Amino acid sequence: MDYAEYFTNRPTDEITRDLIGRPLTFNNRTEKLGGYIVEAEAYMGKLDRAAHSYGGRRSPSNEGLYRTGGTIYIYAQRQYFFFDVACQKENEPQGVLIRAIDPVWGIDTMVKNRNGKSGVLLTNGPAKMMQAFGIHNKNWNLHFLSDSPFIIDLDNNHKRIAQEIIADKRVGINQSDPVWANKKLRFYVAGNPYVSDMKKRDCAYSNGWA
C-alpha cells in the first residue's frame, strides 16, 4: 500500500489509531533516527473546532492540511515544531499529529540533539520528538512523505502490537467548545512511558507492547 492510499481511504481517526505501533524514522543524511509511534491525535478538518482548518480557515501556514493525504504538514508554535501528516483527498483539510515515539534507532544522536536529555524525556512530546530529530525549521513542510527523509513504515510485519490502545481527549485544546475538546481523538499505547504526561506509576513493565 502506498502513502496516498493509506492516508485517504478511511476516516482520519481510524488512520490515527492504525498508526500506533508503526515505525517512524527520519534520515538525517548520516543515519536513521526514530522509533515506534506511541501517541497520535486526529484533527477532523473544517468541522473540528480544535483544527487549524476549522471553518475552512486557510493560509500559507496551514496549507499543508489542504494537500492530498500523505503530505507533510509542519507547524511552528513558539520556538517549537510539530509533525503532522495530511489525511483525506485534496481540499479536505484533515490530519494526524504525531505526538510521541518509543525511540529505537539512532538514540545516541537523538540524545545529543536534545542537549543530553535521555530516557523518557527524549521523545515524550511532539516538539521534543522534532528536537530529537534535529529539526529546527519547516524545510519539509508540504513535501509528500515519499519525497522526504521521513519514513512511516506501512508494512504490517514491522508494526509493533500494543496490548491496549487508549482513546482519550486531545492535549492542550481550547475548552471553548467542550464537544470537540472532549472528543476522543488522541490514541496512545496504554502504559508506555514515552506517551506525553504518562505517570510513572501508570507505566507497564513491557512498556505496553504485546
CA angle (86 as vertex; 50, 61 as ends), nearest 5 = 65
Q: What does the per-residue mask of binding to DNA show for 113-152, with x meaning CB under 7 A? A: -x--x---x---xxxx--x------x--------------
- Residue 36 or residue 73: which is nearer to DNA going by CB? 73
Q: Could you tell me which stretch among 16-24, 25-33, 49-57, 151-159 binds DNA (CB under 7 A)?
A: 49-57
Rounded Cα distance between 68 and 3, Å, is 10
Residues 6+ apart with CB under 8 A from 14: none
Residue 3 one-letter amino acid: Y
Say whether 174 sits in a helix, a strand or coil.
coil
- Give the three cell numbers for residue 132: 530529537
Binding flag, residue 79, DNA (CB under 7 A): yes
Measured between alpha carbons, how far is residue 197 from residues 18, 28, 125, 180, 200 in Å? 22, 28, 8, 21, 9
Per CB under 7 A, the list member of 44, 97, 135, 195 interacting with DNA is: 97
Binding flag, residue 193, DNA (CB under 7 A): no
Per CB under 7 A, the list member of 9, 27, 28, 61 interacting with DNA is: 61
Binding site for DNA (CB under 7 A): 41, 43, 50-52, 57, 59-62, 65, 73, 75-80, 82, 84, 95, 97, 114, 117, 121, 125-128, 131, 138, 170-174, 176, 196, 199-201
